[in-house]
Amino acid sequence: MKKKLLLATAFTMLAGCSTTNQQIIVAPQLMTNNQSIYQQIPMQLSITDMRTKQHLVQVLHEGKAAQLFSPANDFSDAIVSTLHRSWQQQGIAFSAVSANKIEVIIDSALISVQQSTLKYTTASELRLRVKITKGDQTQTTNFKSTGSSEGALKADVAVLERDFNQQLGTLLNNILTNSDIQTFLRN
């Protein structure tokens, strides 16, 4: 009897410790018109992640440990590859040896969920900087996107993932269509 009770207790503890996939997929979708606006400007493209924590979603429960959701794919790579592809379509010629540089700096990227028994609230913030160096001139442009929502019962991670990707896509679209950046790159 004791063995059965011990086995049942161990099984329950193991089942309670198991977690679902603690990752979200980063796949921003852009709505830009990628027509050529640059005349094959040679540039280097790099990305710097200044965040101290690498998770993108944190679900906070009162009195419990936070659930952290990291990106399933490399977050920096998702941003830089999306921008690289779009800027190339716009006419930038990327090269590893160019003196002209575009650096994208990730300052923050987090959705924080406050989960209670019957409801949840979310607060999200994305902050990116784009630093462009052409010759002896440098321009830095800041981009920020915040959002919040609330709902009944439990936050759905798939919805959080979708909202994050939409927010990131909008922010990257703002970078690609920013008139100050376009003017600086063309001059």
- The pLDDT value recorded for residue 178 is 95
pTM assigned to the model? 0.83
Does residue 4 belong to any structural domain of this protein? no
Query: For position 162, which CATH number holds?
Result: 3.40.50.10610
- The pLDDT value recorded for residue 125 is 96
- The pLDDT value recorded for residue 117 is 87
List the helix and strand counts (H, then E) for the chain: 4, 8
> 119: domain range?
37-182
- pLDDT tens-place string over residues 37-60: 888 899 999 999 999 998 999 999
- The pLDDT value recorded for residue 20 is 43
Does residue 76 belong to any structural domain of this protein? yes
3-state secondary structure labels for all residues of 81-133: HHHHHHHHHHCEEECCCCCCEEEEEEEEEEEEEEECCCEEEEEEEEEEEEEEE
Does residue 167 belong to any structural domain of this protein? yes
How many structural domains does the chain have? 1
Mean pLDDT by 10 residues, the chain (187 residues): 45 40 85 80 95 92 89 94 93 91 97 92 96 95 94 90 94 95 92
